[in-house]
Structure 1
Amino acid sequence: MLAALKRYPLQVNLLLCGTFLLTLGRAITLPFLVIYLSTAFGLSVNHIGLMLGGALFGGSLLSLYGGYLIDRMPGFGLILGFSACFVAAFIGMLASSQLWLFFLFLLGFNFAYSVTDVVVKTAFGRLLAAGEQSRAFSIRYTLINLAYAIGPFVGAGLAHLSQELPFMVSATLGTLFLLAFLRYGDRGMRPAEGVAPPSFLAVMGVLSKDHRLMYFTIGGVLTAVVFGQFSAYLSQYLVSTSTAEYAYQVIQTLLGVNAVTVIALQYLLGKRIDNEHLQRWLIIGLGLFLLGIVGFGLSRNLVHWGLAMAVFTLGEIIVIPAEYMFIDRIAPAHLRGVYYGTQNLANLGGALGPVLVGVFLTLLAPHWVFVMLGGFIIASGFFYVAGASLPASAPRD
């Protein structure tokens, strides 16, 4: 991996560094928002699910328009602008004493993080040769999970000192990237040349004709219900079925196992996933997801939870890079931003996860949560396989 990083241009390494810093800021605060909202605002499990899910849902929808902007505006200004929004959102959440205002800042944070993520993925397609892109995506995902390995433990330590410290440190990390990109970022980051539809609605018309993109997006939404915010919905489940202290222990264990497994195996497995056997890899990955969900439902101690998380993470290692590779393969160069923005709609599934789990925990016995999650994995498999099997259905220029 280090050898690959040495070959990459400065801008690619700077964006990878930014991915790590912004995700670290996210990982320090986000896993503990369930507990923060419960203690600071006195929200119930169901209302917390609606709060977190609604913010992620809105941020994902807005990121589609962000992808449209990426294809038309210089990336330098977009990254600076949305990095500033990232910082402002954490400061705003910290300062908010009213729930509606906290929600607006949480929505802004999700929007800023999603659009910055689309900019990074789009830049990889423009700055790297096709043979290097899968490696770059694997490195990026490894860094994201390294951030998630460190962040929750840092966040837990900070939260024990003060509930405000995680927000302050997250804002500081965003500021560090903002200043670094202001100093070293490429001011000449321009959209790719090509004949693109002039309006957002016209672009949506082009996307709607690419059935492969639509099937993969639906499959991504269904899968993201399961893995998109697993720490949030498992926190809801654990808070409902055990004590807050035990929930802390399990979530820290799960995030640690998830991150260590990805760091150890993501690059090794990711570079072996190819377009020729994409459908087979997806089926294997979804099968591992399903086994992990069954393991969660049967877990009775930290060892069981950790083993189930390891299996679950193997599915994540396979499915996520396969999605990136498929989108990059079918996206026209001048519409890469909006294609990746469409793929980001998979986060809608992540938004639905806490909401659905909150509803199931309110209305049904807790074990039905895992039955529901398994059903989403099976359904997503049909859409992934259908999308990978379809011929091209949209013009590339």
Structure 2
Amino acid sequence: MKKINIRAFHPIVWALLLGTVFARGASYMAMPFLALHLSRSEGINPVLIGAIIGVGPLMGTIGGFFGGNLSDRYGRKVVMLSSIFVWTFVFLGFAFASSPLVFFLLNALNGICRSFFEPASQALMADVTEKDLRLRVFSMRYTAINIGAAAGPLLGAYFGMKSAGLTFEITSASYLMYGIAIAMLLSKYKVRNTASAKGRTAMKEAFQIIGRDKALRLFILGGILVNIGYSQNDSSLPQHLGQILKDGVVLYSVLLSVNAVSVVVLQIPLSRLVEKWKVLHVMVLGSAFFTAGYIGFGLSLGWAGFITSMLIVTIGEIFLFPSTSVFIDQIAPEALRGTYFGAAQFRSIGNSAGPLMGGFLLRSVHGHWLFCIMAFLVGASSFFFIAGNRLQSGQAVPGAALNESSVKG
């Protein structure tokens, strides 16, 4: 396998990748323990805790489109820096908050900041990277996220034993340093201004463009199906293991480790293996691995079957999730790249609907059938991806005429 050529990527890309490791690690150190922290607070019942935890992803789903569009209109730098510095104070607020309303508002802001920062940062990575290297960049970004996800909870358990608020203070400091580093790099390297007159598409006009892009809508529908299935890893899978195995909790911990370690170890070699393939083929291959893995979850009765199935699911996410970012980059008009990355956040509807659907099926038809049904749903996503790719290949760039005549100056 060839070594990664460091000089092939812009310094800003490396800074964002390194920052992703530390920032995501810090976030995973604090946020997974938020429910536990809330449960120890007086006057916050389980229903309130559920509302507080759920508002973050909800606001993230809604806010992604707006954040991406704003980055097209006013530039990546403005949106990224404003969101990450607000984020810093959000995490600091978690450390000192005591009122349920304050926790609710803070987590709503947490979701908004993430939904503003992530599409803008992905669009910036694409802005400064050659097209044939973007799959590798997004694969490396996904690896960075998973390194943070693997290390963060372990650090959170260690620091959380000393003080629940300490984890949020460390996370706040990490995001502050990340923001300062981004500000310095964006001042040093003059990235082409994305907020040109051509790119200043008003929010209403952006909605019209997205509404006319059938390829994007089909992609989002396929992504929702994938996320409905993937959300079962956190919601239904541990319950299913607990129902059929005495040591199901232990096995679930092992499966999480298998997932995290496999992503870190396999991401780069597998992405190099398929980087010359068409993006659609990689996405369909990823869906096929997901489907096989969930059938495995449905049929497995012991450790070996579940571990093998988790490995297959992990290979599926390695292929599918980074390639979806490349697909969005390919179908997006250059002046609307941030808007498209933001609109893609609507896939997160699946993360909200999935646990509810999984809970209903787990109670109604048992876990074996649940995962077989999820395998069917995830497999069906390929039809949406294929249909969207065919539309994208055979149609003009969506909204091109609108951009020529009605953009804001």
Fold-level similarity (TM above 0.5): yes
- CA distance 1:228–1:246, change in 2 (3 Å): closer
- CA distance 1:258–1:343, change in 2 (3 Å): same
- CA distance 1:156–1:141, change in 2 (3 Å): same
Q: What does residue range 75-90 of structure 1 map to in structure 2 within 5 Å?
A: 75-90=76-91
What CA distance in whole angstroms lies between the structure 1 residues aligned with 2:35 and 2:368? 20
The residue matched to 1:69 in structure 2 has which SS? helix
Checking the alignment, whether the CA contact within 8 Å between 2:231 and 2:354 is kept in structure 1 is yes
Q: What does residue range 338-353 of structure 1 map to in structure 2 within 5 Å?
A: 338-353=339-354
TM-aligned CA deviation for residue 220 of structure 1: 1.0
TM-score, scaled to structure 1: 0.86
- The letter of the residue matching 1:354 is P
TM-score, scaled to structure 2: 0.84
Q: What does residue range 1-397 of structure 1 map to in structure 2 within 5 Å?
A: 3-37=4-38, 40=41, 41-43=44-46, 51-186=52-187, 188-189=190-191, 190-191=193-194, 193=196, 195-196=198-199, 198-227=201-230, 230-231=233-234, 234=237, 247=249, 249-273=250-274, 277-298=278-299, 303-360=304-361, 365-367=366-368, 369-390=370-391, 391-393=394-396, 394-396=398-400
Checking the alignment, whether the CA contact within 8 Å between 1:74 and 1:191 is kept in structure 2 is yes
TM-aligned CA deviation for residue 23 of structure 1: 1.5
What CA distance in whole angstroms lies between the structure 2 residues aligned with 1:225 and 1:53? 16
- CA distance 1:313–1:332, change in 2 (3 Å): same
Deviation readout 1:61-118 (Å, 9 max, x if unpaired)? 1111000100011322322211122222222333333334323222221221232111
- CA distance 1:27–1:285, change in 2 (3 Å): same
The residue matched to 1:195 in structure 2 has which SS? helix
- CA distance 1:157–1:376, change in 2 (3 Å): farther
What CA distance in whole angstroms lies between the structure 2 residues aligned with 1:74 and 1:316? 31
The residue matched to 2:46 in structure 1 has which SS? coil
Checking the alignment, whether the CA contact within 8 Å between 2:279 and 2:323 is kept in structure 1 is yes
The residue matched to 1:107 in structure 2 has which SS? helix
Checking the alignment, whether the CA contact within 8 Å between 1:220 and 1:380 is kept in structure 2 is yes
What CA distance in whole angstroms lies between the structure 2 residues aligned with 1:265 and 1:149? 14
TM-aligned CA deviation for residue 14 of structure 1: 1.6
The residue matched to 1:22 in structure 2 has which SS? helix
Deviation readout 1:150-187 (Å, 9 max, x if unpaired)? 11222233334443343233223212212322333337
- CA distance 1:90–1:197, change in 2 (3 Å): closer
Q: What stretches of structure 2 of length at least 5 have no aligned partner?
A: 404-409
Checking the alignment, whether the CA contact within 8 Å between 2:85 and 2:179 is kept in structure 1 is yes
Q: Tell which structure's C-alpha radius of gyration is larger.
A: 2
The residue matched to 1:185 in structure 2 has which SS? helix
Checking the alignment, whether the CA contact within 8 Å between 1:275 and 1:326 is kept in structure 2 is no
State the identity %: 27
- The letter of the residue matching 1:186 is S
What CA distance in whole angstroms lies between the structure 1 residues aligned with 2:167 and 2:306? 26
The residue matched to 2:164 in structure 1 has which SS? coil
Checking the alignment, whether the CA contact within 8 Å between 1:194 and 1:333 is kept in structure 2 is no
What CA distance in whole angstroms lies between the structure 2 residues aligned with 1:310 and 1:49? 30
What CA distance in whole angstroms lies between the structure 1 residues aligned with 2:39 and 2:358? 16
- CA distance 1:367–1:383, change in 2 (3 Å): same
Which residue pairs with 2:407 in the alignment? none
Q: What stretches of structure 1 of length at least 5 have no aligned partner?
A: none
The residue matched to 1:291 in structure 2 has which SS? helix
Checking the alignment, whether the CA contact within 8 Å between 1:52 and 1:351 is kept in structure 2 is no
Which shows bigger deviation, 337-346 or 20-29?
Answer: 20-29
Alignment RMSD: 3.1
Checking the alignment, whether the CA contact within 8 Å between 2:231 and 2:355 is kept in structure 1 is no
